[in-house]
Amino acid sequence: MYAIIETGGKQYRVEEGDVLDVELLHADGEVKFDKVLMLHDGKAPKVGHPHLKHCAVHAEVIGMEKGPKVISFKYKRCKNYRRTVGHRQKYSRVKIKKIVAA
């Protein structure tokens, strides 16, 4: 059984036991993703319009992670103008516990 969920403006295909990095969640312990777009139970897929009602994915927050450093550099020639900005995106690492389908 697998499901496609939406969180942080992105879509993820998840199964029970999967570990994935999602946009930063300000929560500890258990998290419930109730924006389930599609659910496949091995027989026939169920597709929501846009979300499935009475379906949820329960997960546990393992910890926080940081993505790779991205460097942005602005430069204008002959004007002595240089700007460097670095950024590291923060992610929450979650482990999928169970998929609840009604």
The pLDDT tens digits of the residues spanning 64-102 come to 999 999 999 999 999 999 999 999 999 999 999 999 987
Which residues are CB-neighbours of 34 under 8 A, at least 6 positions away? 51, 55, 56, 57
Give burial (CB, 10 Å; 0-12/13-18/19+) of 98.
exposed
Full-model pTM: 0.84
Q: Which range marks the domain in which residue 40 is found? A: 2-100
The per-type count for the chain, helices as H runs and strands as E runs, is 0, 8
Give the count of domains, the chain: 1
